Amino acid sequence: MRTDGSAGNDAHMTEVTGKDPLVLFMPSGKRGRFPVGTPVLDAARSLGVYVESVCGGRATCGRCQISVQEGNFAKHKIVSSLDNISAKGPKEERYESIRGLPEGRRLSCSTQILGDLVVDVPQDTVINAQVVRKAATDRVIERNAAVQLCYVEVDDPDMHKPLGDLDRLKVMLERDWGWKDLLIAPHLIPQIQGILRKGNWGVTAAIHRDMDSSRPFIVALWPGLKNEAYGIACDIGSTTIAMHLVSLLSGRIVASSGTSNPQIRFGEDLMSRVSYVMMNPDGREAMTKAVREAANMLIGKVCEEGQVDRHDILDMVFVANPIMHHLFLGIDPTELGQAPFALAVSGALQYWAHEIDIDVNRGARLYMLPCIAGHVGADAAGATLAEAPYKQDRMMLLVDVGTNAEIVLGNSDRVVAASSPTGPAFEGAEISSGQRAAPGAIERVRIDPETLEPKFRVIGVDKWSDEDGFAEAAASVGVTGICGSAIIEVVAEMYLCGIISQDGVVDGSMAARSPRILENGRTFSYLVHDGQPRITVTQNDVRAIQLAKAALYAGIKLLMEKLGIDHVDTIRFAGAFGSFIDPKYAMVLGLIPDCDLAEVKAVGNAAGTGALMCLLNRGHRREIEQMVSKIEKIETALESKFQEHFVYAMALPNKVDAFPKLAQVVTLPERKVLADDGGDGSGRRRRRSRD
């Protein structure tokens, strides 16, 4: 079947000889020989180089633009020249006079090969000058969207050949585009006659086909040439919903936006939302309605920003953690609240968007990535696709830190995944002065090891707190609390300065050295900011961070044990939290195992990037579906060694594991055990349970 939309020119199907022109396509690097006269579009398609087309080679859509590089490309043995392509013909000139062509661009459907060429395929051909936002991701995603726009000119009705309008439309879609066995979305059937006549028998059909084995569907129909279609890639997080509006034809991100998840009003963390469902008869419906309304609102926002009609959205890809996945799809998440954490469905899902109450084009489809396990969701699958540990020889650790950390570890041989109940401490909850990242929140902290005096930076102010003019600059936002990234830093700095022991006990004897060590009954705290409010790090705060990081590290250790490895080569932090924490401090605290610091990278919303990849290239859907079926799932709650790893990981950075690479760049304190500490990080003496 031909689904490439190239014009019907079979010149290149004739026998190719070694004397035929050699054509190299960039950036793919694919090359081949083609007889003189072959349209460049056909040459590209025959090599599997993606070049968009809507009009089927009529030189009216402008989607097939390319440019020819000139020069001697000795490495490829090609001398490429504009003389080696045909001059512009009347159709291309007509297009140029009406729509314009950027300098050096040609329509590949109307450009014939006359000699050796190096051809550039631009990655983002913009037809209608839209508002374009900075790309959310720099990666180039090869396009093979599930939706394709196909323009056809249907024969007029003929009394002697009583074939229906739809049937004649199907005939042309097969003849010009190769679509066989087409189905049609039922809502279009009553509209067909009006659309065909309005377009004077020229119509554009949107064809959706996800799997090669599935029957293609006509999902939308417009009179005349419809030259743009959009998609949505969305990550539904517990706290934030993030969305990209993308051109399905050019691959360009037109707008990106986010909003807080309105389900927060039913419970801050995931488990409290499951409890809400269990305790309120209408709880599931209310939460499903809230998250769908938020998605619809966000679609309105990105469409407004990108000046796009929401009814031009034809395809959507969603990722979410398992509980959000269930609630969004209207599934009761109660089973996910208790062992064995059974998902109602783990495989990828396909819906009509209107079945999920999403208000876009009536024929739009919605694809949800598969979940990996009961607590490792479609979001982790998206991040796994984006970072692709399974394509690497090196051992990659991928961590998404949230209230429930999702952990994926592996390489091209084997990949394992688990989740760990870190709780909300890393997000600033359960911390006495903790708050979400917002203007006024402390985001960076340093402590002078001699004087134990802190300096800090707050969100919204450029200066450090010890710089001149800080007080004036911070006057408008205030200094209101500590956000997650700073909690990691302040506890790590307290440890590096000896204010807390390896076991996390705030050392009261330091009060003799600094008035910032404050006594609170039987424990001590550290004063970060003596203002309104007073910001301290208490013993309980340190414990909360220890518990969270120990849960994360224990989960990672279980996975490392499963793979029989004692170190990882590279670490990726996914999610907003990972973008703000300093890898050095994360390692000082022992959130993550020892690793070359240069190999620890924040990758932002990798889950959203995975959704974007699946939106623009349906091949990625198959890739992650197959990969998820191969990933070995480890349930941390059922692993007996989890507790042992957890206890060791309560220490800073760890009671038993060495951090030699970290020690090359940071001087870690000598171990000191304080009088009130039993060494288990609990702050109490305990009996030795292991000898």
Q: Which residues bind ligand FES (CB under 6 A)?
A: 53-55, 57, 59-64, 107, 109
Task: Report d(CA 217, CA 233) in Å as an integer.
Answer: 21
In the complex, the smallest distance separating the C-beta of residue 374 from ligand FES, rounded to whole angstroms, is 47
3-state secondary structure of 367: strand
Task: Report d(CA 611, CA 603) in Å as an integer.
Answer: 14
3-state secondary structure of 161: strand
Task: Report d(CA 211, CA 217) in Å as an integer.
Answer: 11
Extract the tokens encoding 229: 């279609």
**What's the full length of the chain, in residues?**
691
In the complex, the smallest distance separating the C-beta of residue 58 from ligand FES, rounded to whole angstroms, is 6
> Among 410, 419, 413, which Cα is nearest to 568's?
410
Extract the tokens encoding 594: 């020892």
In the complex, the smallest distance separating the C-beta of residue 493 from ligand FES, rounded to whole angstroms, is 60
Of residues 58 and 444, the one with the C-beta less far from ligand FES: 58
In the complex, the smallest distance separating the C-beta of residue 56 from ligand FES, rounded to whole angstroms, is 7
3-state secondary structure of 197: helix
CB 367 within 8 A of CB 348: yes
The residues facing 158 across adjacent strands are 161
Extract the tokens encoding 15: 């026998």
First to last CA, the chain: 70
In the complex, the smallest distance separating the C-beta of residue 249 from ligand FES, rounded to whole angstroms, is 11
Extract the tokens encoding 111: 């450009």
In the complex, the smallest distance separating the C-beta of residue 110 from ligand FES, rounded to whole angstroms, is 6
In the complex, the smallest distance separating the C-beta of residue 248 from ligand FES, rounded to whole angstroms, is 15
In the complex, the smallest distance separating the C-beta of residue 257 from ligand FES, rounded to whole angstroms, is 31
CB 517 within 8 A of CB 473: no
In the complex, the smallest distance separating the C-beta of residue 638 from ligand FES, rounded to whole angstroms, is 56
3-state helix, strand, coil in the chain (%, to 5): 35, 25, 45
Of residues 54 and 576, the one with the C-beta less far from ligand FES: 54
Of residues 10 and 138, the one with the C-beta less far from ligand FES: 10
CB 25 within 8 A of CB 42: no
In the complex, the smallest distance separating the C-beta of residue 545 from ligand FES, rounded to whole angstroms, is 58
In the complex, the smallest distance separating the C-beta of residue 55 from ligand FES, rounded to whole angstroms, is 4
Task: Report d(CA 115, CA 125) in Å as an integer.
Answer: 25
> Among 192, 201, 563, which Cα is nearest to 389's?
563
Query: CA triplet 23, 24, 27: central angle to 5 degrees?
Result: 150
In the complex, the smallest distance separating the C-beta of residue 59 from ligand FES, rounded to whole angstroms, is 5
Of residues 53 and 480, the one with the C-beta less far from ligand FES: 53
Task: Report d(CA 508, CA 538) in Å as an integer.
Answer: 12
Of residues 203 and 302, the one with the C-beta less far from ligand FES: 203
Of residues 109 and 207, the one with the C-beta less far from ligand FES: 109
In the complex, the smallest distance separating the C-beta of residue 92 from ligand FES, rounded to whole angstroms, is 8
> Among 375, 418, 398, 374, which Cα is nearest to 561's?
418
Of residues 62 and 363, the one with the C-beta less far from ligand FES: 62
Of residues 62 and 423, the one with the C-beta less far from ligand FES: 62
Q: At what angle do helices 539-563 and 484-496 cross, to 10 degrees?
A: 90
3-state secondary structure of 409: strand
Residue nearest to ligand FES (CB): 109
In the complex, the smallest distance separating the C-beta of residue 39 from ligand FES, rounded to whole angstroms, is 9
Of residues 53 and 361, the one with the C-beta less far from ligand FES: 53
Of residues 152 and 416, the one with the C-beta less far from ligand FES: 152
Q: What is the DSSP string of 213-275?
A: TSPPEEEEEEES-----EEEEEEE-SSEEEEEEEETTT--EEEEEEEE-GGGGG-SSHHHHHH
> Among 276, 274, 385, 384, which Cα is nearest to 325's?
274
In the complex, the smallest distance separating the C-beta of residue 108 from ligand FES, rounded to whole angstroms, is 6
In the complex, the smallest distance separating the C-beta of residue 66 from ligand FES, rounded to whole angstroms, is 10
Q: What is the DSSP string of 264-312?
A: GGG-SSHHHHHHHHHH-TTHHHHHHHHHHHHHHHHHHHHHHHHT--GGG
> Among 219, 179, 218, 209, which Cα is nearest to 3's?
179
Of residues 64 and 586, the one with the C-beta less far from ligand FES: 64
Of residues 4 and 657, the one with the C-beta less far from ligand FES: 4
488 φψ region: left (φ > 0), alpha (ψ -120 to 50), beta (else): alpha
Helices (H), 357-514: 378-387, 470-474, 484-496
Helices (H), 86-132: 90-99
Of residues 56 and 410, the one with the C-beta less far from ligand FES: 56
